Structures are given as C-alpha cells and as structure tokens.
Amino acid sequence: MQSIRSSVLIVLGFFALGGIAWAQPPKVYSRPVTERNVLRFEVGYFRPSGSSDYWHDTFREFTGSTSDFGDAVFGFDYLYRLSPRMSLVVSSSFYEGSTDQFYLDFVDEFGGEIIHTTTLSTATFNVGLLWEFLPRTSAVVPYAGFGGGYLAWELEESGEFIDFSVFFPEIFSATFVDDGGTFNWYGQFGLDFPLSRNWSIFTEGRWQGASVSLGGDFEGLGTLDLSGWDVRVGGSWSF
C-alpha cells in the first residue's frame, strides 16, 4: 500500500509541475532541435490485472489479491526520431513481485498457518512508435505510443503445501516453477517536460497485454494473465 501511495504522489507531483510549466512561454532555442537519438530511463509501479484461471483459482484457495503483487518496474528506451514528431522506440523493462500466501481453510497440527511465497517476474523487449503532439520547444510535450514484442516470464511458488492425494492429507515443502516467453503489446500516454535542448523529465502511464498457458510444475492450471498497468517517471537525454 505504501508503494502505491508513493507512486501516486510522485505522478501527481509531476502533473503539478506540468501545470506550472504549461503556463510558461515556449522555450526559444538558438537553433532548431535536430538531435535524432534519445535515451530514456524510468522507474515506476506495476500491478498485474489478474484476469485468468490461475489468479482466480489461487485466490479461492489462498489469501491475497493481485494488489499484493504490485511492485517496482524499471525500464529504458532508445528513441530514433523519424520526424520532428514521430519516433521509433526500442524498449525494455523489468519487474518482480512477490507475496506470502497461506491456506484460507487449513492450518497445521499446531494451529499455525501453512505458508508459501509466490513470485512473478517479467522482462519485456519491445519495438514501437511514439508520437509527440507538440513541438520540442513547448513547455510541456504530451505524447502517446504503442508497440509490441517479446515478454520473458517466470512464476514460482516455494514453501509449504498440503498433499490431498493421500488418505490423510499431509504437509510437505516444495518449489514449483514454470517459465517461458510470449508476445506482448503495450500502449502508453505521457507528458514530457523539456529542461534544455538535451535533457527532459517525463511521467507516463502504460498498459501491457499478455497471457500464457501454464505448463511445467503448473500443468493443468489453465492460463496466466500477465497483463497490467504501470505508472512511471524518468529522465531523457537527446544527442
């Protein structure tokens, strides 16, 4: 919950700065903005949407919700300006969220919780397009983009579980893992605040779409929804 509040406060702060900057006169540079290459680095908060068989079944049996998997996301983008307003984007991001879960209806022989830790990790490698709605000399530059690519993922559950296949159910320790890769797509909208010809700060929101069929140690548990939203803040350097 604290990480959610922090992310929201950061984004609201950037939007407040944007309101102040929007009221300022356009920036006048000594020459046109001609830098074609841009590097962007960002940090934010990602939360899975949890709309699939795995998530629904998990929260019927164990404690928690998808909000417990909300955690930091880190990313970087390389932009190549195809025109003054449009850029080709090559991007990557990394996320890992985990939470402790225990059975809703069962405890051990001493009345203690039967706990395991669930961890979801993703890494994306995407190509897309980004469109800026105002020239770079504006005080605030709104932009939107979309794209898609490859998403590598891993799901792990490690801890104590109940074996219901025996006549007298018993507790055992184990680690279950499945991983793989799939196609993903994204959409984004943000505000960029130029500080100079070469430097700027920005804030944006993204939606990621992806889903996979589980296998490995989770064979038969249906689909895993890897979609979700995130908010980010970062800085960029044009050269």
What is the Cα gyration radius of the chain? 22
Report the Cα 46 to chain-centroid distance in Å. 4
Please report the sign of the dihedral spanned by the C-alpha atoms of residue 186, residue 189, residue 193, residue 194.
Answer: positive
Residues 6+ apart with CB under 8 A from 30: none
Top pLDDT among 75 and 12 is at 75
Asked if 57 and 234 touch (Cβ cutoff 8 Å), the reply is no
Shortest CA distance to 128 belongs to which of 145, 140, 116, 141? 145
Q: Does residue 7 have a pLDDT over 50? A: no
Contacts of 111 (CB under 8 A, 6+ apart): none
Closest of 149, 130, 140, 135 to residue 40, by C-alpha: 130
Average pLDDT of span 181-198: 97
Mean pLDDT of the chain: 90
Q: Which residues in the chain belong to E strands, given as ranges? A: 37-48, 71-81, 86-102, 115-132, 141-163, 170-194, 199-209, 211-213, 223-225, 228-238
State the pLDDT at residue 35.
86
DSSP 164: T
Structure-block tokens of residue 148: 């898609």
Whole-angstrom distance, CA of residue 1 vs CA of residue 218: 29
For 167, residues 6+ apart whose C-beta sits below 8 A from its C-beta are none
- Of 35 and 46, the structure prediction assigns the larger pLDDT to 46
* CA proximity to 19, closest of 195, 193, 143: 193
- Stretch among 19-28, 183-192, 230-239 having the lowest mean pLDDT: 19-28
pLDDT computed for residue 220 by the predictor: 93
β-partners of residue 123 are 94, 152
Mean pLDDT, range 40-45, rounded to an integer = 98
User: What domains, with CATH codes, occur in the chain?
Assistant: 2-238 (2.40.160.20)
- Answer whether 227's CB lies under 8 Å from 51's CB: yes
Please, are residues 159 and 116 in contact by the beta-carbon 8 Å criterion? yes
Residue whose structure tokens are 């290459």: 37
pLDDT, tens digit, 9 for 90 and up, residues 56-101: 999 999 999 999 999 999 999 999 999 999 999 999 999 999 999 9
Q: What pLDDT score was predicted for residue 8?
A: 44
